[in-house]
């Protein structure tokens, strides 16, 4: 009984602890001491000194995580241990954020100053997330207030290598925490006028020196929360997240490297309205979610680089309507924390083509069940067992005004993890999990503008993950190493020339992913430093696929040094090697990528700070990873922030 009371108190305190993290938006596996076992958590303190506010660029510094710049769509994506975005569950405050049509999300639309933390799980992850977390999970968690009245105002300006303004970012936040309620408002306006290519870039007929043509974009984001906290065991939150953005499509600099796209997005919007309720009882807790996410975007497709004649306009209207209920019990079994969840989601996606009049209409229903147990028989040993079950059923599927056959899909997701403290401050883990990816609407039904054949009969992908890792935490050091192995059965890939020149998504066979990850971090009085290393090898022998966009090795290092209390100097480097990209006619190895960044921050008062920095310090000319789409050269920035 003593243990039950203690855990119940911890659970209740979890609601009212003075922390800017919106804890109801977090999902993780925890032991009796609230130690998180399945995710790497990046706090705002760990990424606020990073030069780039792009969430994707921050995730890129983690071992096993790779930022993938999709130049052909002018967006940022993520790879987890070599697996692409469609196999990763992306969440904001524990609510699905990825577009249900294809599983993608543009990470550049979320800036890090809007977040309190980011949770990353690779392979082994809580089944409370629901379906489609085969590669892992990225959960971005927003903020909540900790004071009776608080706020922040910041403005950042970047300049290109010619010292011309290239972008501005303005942010304001206000919040208040009262005894029985709290509210929080956070708004950001990001305006990217342009960016410059490196001075080492060789001009072509499609792209000159200096300003990158058609590189502008803008984004307005808003995060609102209002919560009732009638007592220490209850929290009821109404939330709203809003993204309104536009972006241009930079031109391919050399048409021999790919297919030219003359695209423009006059609208790329996402809106999520949600309600989360959490109630802790003596020995148990209930958590309920209800949400609706709306995705609206407009894509103008032109016939030439002058952008004068439209070939079509695609207007996307999509939404996800979902709910889930999670129950946690601390007292049924001694030394066990048992969780059970049930979730349901309706995914609705329509595409209206205003010129060709070839419209698409899809509706999926997805259901998930989860059961999870954290067993701690001794102070040194923890055993995690879980089982998830996912079921999806396509209600409607119409591609280019043509009805397609549909079928249901299901998958079981069992897991077991062992965590043992062989020595003080040292933990060894062995993680075994089976995770699945239910075929997306795009994979099953898209005809890709008359270039592909739909395949409604696709089977789910199933991944078997094994990870062996060891963590040492001592005297300011955190040292973590892991080896991993993943076998993906019924891998979904594009098969070319199935009917003439048309391709098709098919289950092509088995893929293997294996590698090693290492990270070390040291925190001292005057500085914080760290080094992350990743190695991965991918074998697609049975699928006949070439491994694209994944660096075999990646190294990231950083240091933040405070010679005096009010000044912080920062530097970071990133190195990637052995990357293969695709051209129209052949595969090509991209030159190794090495970039460096520096920054300096002056804390003028407790509330007012100034920061300056340089990104891509050595003005490297590189592609990451679409050939013909060079990345930005050197940029300077200055930021002022006032907290109250």
Distances (CA, A) of 64 to 461, 514, 535, 550: 21, 11, 8, 10
pLDDT at 114: 87
Per-residue model confidence (pLDDT) at position 50: 63
Give the number of other CB atoms < 10 A from CB of residue 561. 14
Residue 53 pLDDT class (50, 70, 90 cuts): confident
Mean of per-residue pLDDT scores for the chain:
92
Angle at 528 between CA 525 and CA 531, to 5 degrees: 150
How far from each other are the two terminal CA atoms of the chain, in whole angstroms? 44
Does residue 1 register a pLDDT over 60?
Answer: no
Least confident of 80-89, 253-262, 515-524, 634-643: 253-262
pLDDT in tens, 464-496: 999 999 999 999 999 999 999 999 999 999 998
Do the Cβ atoms of 139 and 26 come closer than 8 Å?
A: yes
* Position with higher pLDDT, 449 vs 434: 434
Q: What is the pLDDT of residue 13?
A: 36
Pairing of strands 88-92, 40-43: unpaired
The span from the CA of 217 to the CA of 321, in Å, is 29
Q: Which pLDDT value is given to residue 14?
A: 40
For residues 287 and 273, give the distance between their C-alpha atoms in angstroms, rounded to a whole number: 17
Mind listing the pLDDT tens digit for each residue in 257-307? 888 999 999 999 999 999 999 999 999 999 999 999 999 999 999 999 999
524-528 average pLDDT score = 93
Q: Look at residue 5 and tell me whether its pLDDT is greater than 50.
A: no
- As a whole number, mean pLDDT of residues 450-458 equals 94
Q: What's the whole-model pTM score?
A: 0.94
Q: Are 159 and 637 in contact (CB under 8 A)?
A: yes
Q: Give me 221's structure tokens.
A: 């984001």
**pLDDT tier at 627 (50, 70, 90 boundaries)?**
confident
Q: Identify the pLDDT of residue 54.
A: 81
How are beta strands 310-329 and 75-80 bridged, if at all? unpaired
Contacts for 148 with CB less than 8 Å, ≥ 6 apart? 176, 177, 178
Phi, psi for residue 12 in degrees, rounded to 5: -70, -40
What are the CA-CA distances from residue 173 to residues 52, 101, 187, 232, 610 (Å)? 20, 32, 6, 25, 18
Pair of tokens at residue 314:
């695609």
Query: Is the pLDDT at 74 greater than 50, yes or no?
Result: yes
Span 609-631, average pLDDT: 92
496 Cβ partners below 8 Å, 6+ apart?
Answer: 503
Span 353-375, mean pLDDT? 97
Range with lowest mean pLDDT among 145-154, 198-207, 392-401, 625-634: 625-634
Query: HEC profile for 506-534?
Result: EEEEEEEEEEEEEEEEEECCCEEEEEEEE
Cβ-in-10-Å burial (0-12, 13-18, 19+) of 126 comes to buried
């Amino acid at each position: 009984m003593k243990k039950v009371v203690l855990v119940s108190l911890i659970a209740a305190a979890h609601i009212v602890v003075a922390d800017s993290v919106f804890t109801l938006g977090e999902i993780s596996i925890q032991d009796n001491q609230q130690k998180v076992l399945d995710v790497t958590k990046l706090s705002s303190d760990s990424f606020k000194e990073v030069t780039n506010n792009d969430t994707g660029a921050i995730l890129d510094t983690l071992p096993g995580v790779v930022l993938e710049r999709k130049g052909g769509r002018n967006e940022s994506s993520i790879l987890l241990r070599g697996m692409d975005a469609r196999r990763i569950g992306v969440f904001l405050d524990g609510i699905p954020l990825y577009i249900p049509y294809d599983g993608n999300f543009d990470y550049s639309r979320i800036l890090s100053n809007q977040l309190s933390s980011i949770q990353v799980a690779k392979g082994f992850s809580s089944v409370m997330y629901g379906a489609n977390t085969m590669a892992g999970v990225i959960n971005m968690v927003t903020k909540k207030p900790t004071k009776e009245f608080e706020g922040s105002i910041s403005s950042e300006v970047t300049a290109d290598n010619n010292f011309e303004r290239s972008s501005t970012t303005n942010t304001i936040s206000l919040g208040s925490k009262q005894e029985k309620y709290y509210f929080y408002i956070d708004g950001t306006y990001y305006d990217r006028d342009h960016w410059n290519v490196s001075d080492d870039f060789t001009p072509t007929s499609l792209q000159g020196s200096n300003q990158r043509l058609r590189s502008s974009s803008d984004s307005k984001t808003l995060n609102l929360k209002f919560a009732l906290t009638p007592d220490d065991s209850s929290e009821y939150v109404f939330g709203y997240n809003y993204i309104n953005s536009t972006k241009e499509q930079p031109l391919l600099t050399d048409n021999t490297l790919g297919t030219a796209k003359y695209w423009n997005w006059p609208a790329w919007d996402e809106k999520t309205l949600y309600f989360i309720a959490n109630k802790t009882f003596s020995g148990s807790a209930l958590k309920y979610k209800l949400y609706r996410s709306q995705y609206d975007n407009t894509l103008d497709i032109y016939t030439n680089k002058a952008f004068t004649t439209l070939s079509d306009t695609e207007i996307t209207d999509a939404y996800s309507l979902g709910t889930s209920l999670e129950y946690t019990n601390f007292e049924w079994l001694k030394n066990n924390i048992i969780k059970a969840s049930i979730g349901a989601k309706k995914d609705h996606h329509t595409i209206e083509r205003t010129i060709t009049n070839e419209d698409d209409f899809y509706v999926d229903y997805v259901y998930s069940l989860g059961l999870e147990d954290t067993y701690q028989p001794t102070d040194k040993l923890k055993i995690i067992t879980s089982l998830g079950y996912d079921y999806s059923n396509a209600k409607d599927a119409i591609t280019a005004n043509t009805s397609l056959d549909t079928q249901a899909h299901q998958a079981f997701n069992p897991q077991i993890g062992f965590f043992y403290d062989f020595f003080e401050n040292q933990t060894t883990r062995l993680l075994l999990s089976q995770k699945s990816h239910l075929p997306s609407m795009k994979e099953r039904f898209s005809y890709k503008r008359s270039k592909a054949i739909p395949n409604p009969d696709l089977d789910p992908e199933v991944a078997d993950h094994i990870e062996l890792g060891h963590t040492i935490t001592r005297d300011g050091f955190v040292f973590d190493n892991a080896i991993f192995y993943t076998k993906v059965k019924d891998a979904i890939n594009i098969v070319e020339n199935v009917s003439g020149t048309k391709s098709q998504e098919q289950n092509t066979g088995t893929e293997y992913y294996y590698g090693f990850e290492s990270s070390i971090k040291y925190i001292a009085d005057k500085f914080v430093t760290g080094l992350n290393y990743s190695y991965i090898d991918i074998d697609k022998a049975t699928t006949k696929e070439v491994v694209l966009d994944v660096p075999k090795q990646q190294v990231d290092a950083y240091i933040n040094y405070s010679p005096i209390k009010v000044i912080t100097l920062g530097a970071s480097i990133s190195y990637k090697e052995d990357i293969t990209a695709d051209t129209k006619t052949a595969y090509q190895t991209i030159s190794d990528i090495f970039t460096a960044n520096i920054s300096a921050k002056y804390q003028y008062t407790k509330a007012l700070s100034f920061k300056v920095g340089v990104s891509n310090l050595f003005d490297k000319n590189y592609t990451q990873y679409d050939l013909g789409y060079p990345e930005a050269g050197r940029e300077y920035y200055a930021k002022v922030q006032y907290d109250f």
